[in-house]
């Protein structure tokens, strides 16, 4: 009889402790669900993604503007003539990658801050 009473008390205490942790477990499951992972992007993240696209587009446009024209009949352009267009295309791609990386980093930092509750 005494062991039955001890089991009942222990079961009740475990149930109380489990009730204390249920909201935490439920919140964790809700945070990991795909619907809650769609985080609203902060304004700076969107700005950096837009700058990334504009940088790439600008690099392509400037590369096409600096592309040398027709050299004429019987003449051949040296490889130096293509240097500025290649430079502008490379700069556009590099800027686009940097701005996209900054935007992604800000997005990840926001998700971390949201998951830690600060």
CB 91 within 8 A of CB 99: no
CB 100 within 8 A of CB 60: no
Give pLDDT tens digits for 11-69.
Answer: 666 666 556 655 554 545 455 544 444 556 678 899 999 999 999 999 999 999 988 87
In order, the DSSP letters of 23-63 are HHHHHHHHHHSHHHH-PPPPHHHHHHHHHHHHHHHHHHHHH
Report CA 7 to chain centroid distance, whole Å: 51
pTM of the model as a whole: 0.59
């Amino acid at each position: 009889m005494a062991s039955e009473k001890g089991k009942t008390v222990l079961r009740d205490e475990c149930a109380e402790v489990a009730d204390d942790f249920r909201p935490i477990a439920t919140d964790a499951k809700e945070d990991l669900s795909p619907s809650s992972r769609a985080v609203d992007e902060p304004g700076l993240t969107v700005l950096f993604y837009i700058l990334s696209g504009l940088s790439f587009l600008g690099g392509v446009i400037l590369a096409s503007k600096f592309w040398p024209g027709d050299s004429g009949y019987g003449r051949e352009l040296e490889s130096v003539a293509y240097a500025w267009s290649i430079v502008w295309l490379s700069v556009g791609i590099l800027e686009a990658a940097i701005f996209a990386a900054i935007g992604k980093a800000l997005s990840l930092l926001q998700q971390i801050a949201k998951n830690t509750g600060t």
